[in-house]
Amino acid sequence: MGVNQSGMPYVLSTSPKKTGVIAFHSSAGWRAHFQATKSSSKLMVIDFTATWCGPCRLMEPVLNEFAAKYTDVDFIKIDVDELMDVAWEYEVQAMPTFILIKNGKVVDKIVGARKDDLQKKIEKHRF
């Protein structure tokens, strides 16, 4: 641990492995990203997840695989316990839930760890 110029402690860490999935930890950060991208025709896949959710953990490597494969798609990860207001806004009631957005509008939704269904929906909506 070190101390920065303001006297606040910090921990040096190595950079996490880049996965192509953007995790949001604040509602303000998510809303700023959404506002900046809502006029885009680029597909956005939001993974509503929770750390305690077994099926969510099973889907994490799948989402990373899809992010590497579909580089023309934005992949977002939102923890429902951290951003309850965002989960509520999208009416998330079970995890994992995948919301697909294009031009700022929800175009599809998948509830559950359904890899094949998610892949089909991504391929359907990405262009």
Query: 46-85: per-residue pLDDT in tens?
Result: 999 999 999 999 999 999 999 999 999 999 999 999 999 9
Instruction: Find out whether 30 and 24 touch, Cβ atoms under 8 Å.
Output: yes
Rg over alpha carbons for the chain, rounded to the nearest Å, is: 16
CA angle 115/35/117 to nearest 5° reads: 10
The residue-averaged pLDDT of 16-20 equals 61
108 band by pLDDT with thresholds 50, 70 and 90: very high
Active site residues: 53, 56
How far apart (Å, rounded) are the C-alpha atoms in residues 14 and 95? 30
Among 103, 54, 110, 23, smallest CA distance to 119 is for 110
Q: Indicate the residue type of 114.
A: R
Q: Is it the case that residue 16 has pLDDT exceeding 70? A: no
How far apart (Å, rounded) are the C-alpha atoms in residues 80 and 111? 14
